Structure formats: structure tokens, C-alpha cells
Amino acid sequence: MLSGVPRTVKAIDTAELIRLDAEAIAYGFNRNHGAGWLAEHAALEAVHYLRPVVVHRAGRRPEFSPHWRCMLLLAMRDGQEVFSLLDVWPASFDHLPETLDSATERAIAYRLDYGGLPTCAQWASLNT
């Protein structure tokens, strides 16, 4: 993990995830899911988890640089969990509430790092 990103995991609902994804699209960030994709495929009542891992600098949009590339544990409508990435504006991440205890954060971070989760692309190739 590079310095400059918080060492935390945040839980978010699907509505907040869709908002963050729309923000990533609006800001021109590379890692987003495309308009409407999450609304169609993410579990509506699920909790998803974001973990910042890299400070990303976007040369073509200096007004939105740097931002954080986050690992995302994404719950799908079919009950599967997948690994994805989402670029998040730091101020938007900071406004998300801290709701997880440290043991839960560590467990989710471990699953993201070593859990062998299928990627969003792998899931999509089998399910769409």
C-alpha cells in the first residue's frame, strides 16, 4: 500500500456505491463500472466494501488528481461476491462513515487480498 491512502475498509450500501461510481464516471476516472451496470447487477440490499490501496494520479484531469484506487468487494444479485476496482475522490471516501470494527476490517482486507474472488469481468463473462 502506498503512503497517502487511509488504512481502512468502509462498508457502503448499493445506493452509495452507485453514487460513487457515477462520480467516478463524471470525473473521468479510469476505474468505474459504466453507467447503469451496478444498478443492473449489484445486489440492491447488500453491503459492499471499499478499501483504498493506491494513490492514482490522472495526468489528463489534474483537477481530479490525485484520487484513490480502491479494491471493492461487490455483492451481486445472484448472491456471488466479486472483486473489482473503483476510483474514488478522497473527499467522497472521507465522508463515508466508519462502521466496521478492526477485526472485520482485517477480515475483509484479507478476503480482498487472498480470497480468490472472481473479478467483475469474470463474473460478467459467465452471467451476462
23 inside domain: yes
pLDDT confidence bin for 128, thresholds 50/70/90: confident
Specify if 3 maps to a domain.
Answer: no
Residue-wise pLDDT tens digits, 89-102: 999 999 999 999 99
DSSP state of 115: S
For residue 107, tell me if it sits in a domain. Answer: yes
33 contacts 50 by C-beta, under 8 angstroms: no
In a domain, 4, yes or no: no
Say if CB 118 and CB 125 are below 8 A apart.
no
Site of grid cell 451481486: 76
Q: How many domains does the chain have?
A: 1
CA 73 remoteness from chain centre? 7
Residue of 41, 30, 36 lying closest to 81 (CA atoms): 41
Each residue's pLDDT tens digit, 99-117? 999 999 999 999 999 999 9
Q: How far is CA 45 from CA 7, 42, 57, 64, 79, in A?
A: 26, 9, 33, 30, 11
Is 2 contained in some domain? no
Under DSSP, the state recorded for 68 is E
Does any domain span residue 118? Answer: yes
pLDDT tens digits, residue range 36-83?
Answer: 999 999 999 999 999 999 998 877 777 777 889 999 999 999 999 999
Indicate whether 5 belongs to any domain: no
Domain that holds residue 100: 10-127
Residue 85 lies in a domain: yes
